[in-house]
Amino acid sequence: MSFDWPFVLSTLPAFGKAVLVTLQVGAFAIAASLLVALVNASILVLRVPLLRRLVVLYVELARNTPLLIQLFFIYFALPSVGVRISGFSSALIAMTFLGGAYLTEVLRAGVEAVPKAQIESGLAIGLSRWQLLRHVILPQAGILSLPALFANFIFLLKETTIVSAVAVPEILYTTKNYIAMYYKTYEMLAVMTGLCVVLFLPLSLLLAHLERRLQHGQFGS
């Protein structure tokens, strides 16, 4: 069976739109997840008792339930209590819910890696806990966490394939539609694989480069 190049070329505009949707969902999820993680990490460092327990509960709940279950709950279960959310919004909320938990753990580990001597020095010169968090802890924790953060960014971008389950027209959804309509399974899977390689391989290479620079103390040089 020959590869149908004319058919593949005819699908490229639709796949171009699917790539944009994938990047939109991924970019929003990454930005929102990072914001959630920064708030959570601040709560953990400042040791606000009730909020700290809520953050720990949220992290455990989000990390121990599959993204697909979270997505289905938002898209299919909430309408039963009168809350209707579009597929695209459901995807963004679910991915932020999951991503925020993973990035919270990454930043928490980064905070714990900050030398205690620097924290003690900050307290000794009269910095408040908020000033210490803003000017000493979070900047260093962010740098120390960069490889793990970037790895989780790539993870979230890859997880966008799950949102096809609620009819968000990203790459996997578009692939399944063309296969269902035209039975061009081989061609569509080849296109999907090629697009994923183009999207994710450069990010993985950038991550490896970043890790090497950090290991040799070259970051920022």
Phi, psi of 164 (to 5 degrees): -60, -20
> pLDDT per residue over 201-214, tens digit each?
888 888 777 777 77
What is d(CA 121, CA 197) in angstroms, rounded to the nearest whole number? 47
**Domains of the chain: residue spans and CATH:** 5-215 (1.10.3720.10)
**Tens digit of pLDDT for each residue in 161-176?**
899 888 888 999 999 9
d(CA 158, CA 103): 15
pLDDT at 218 over 90: no
- 42 CB-contact burial (10 Å; exposed 0-12 / middle 13-18 / buried 19+): buried
Whole-model pTM: value is 0.86
- Token pair recorded at residue 119: 């924290």
pLDDT greater than 70 at residue 219: no
Rounded CA separation 206/195 (Å): 18
Say what percent of the chain tops pLDDT 70.
Answer: 96
Can you tell me the distance from the alpha carbon of 108 to that of 4, in angstroms, rounded to the nearest whole number? Answer: 50
What's the pLDDT at 1? 60
How much is the pLDDT for 206?
A: 82
At 14-56, the pLDDT tens digits run: 999 999 999 999 999 999 999 999 999 889 888 888 999 999 9
| 55-114 pLDDT per residue, tens | 999 999 999 999 999 999 999 999 988 899 999 999 999 999 999 999 999 999 988 888
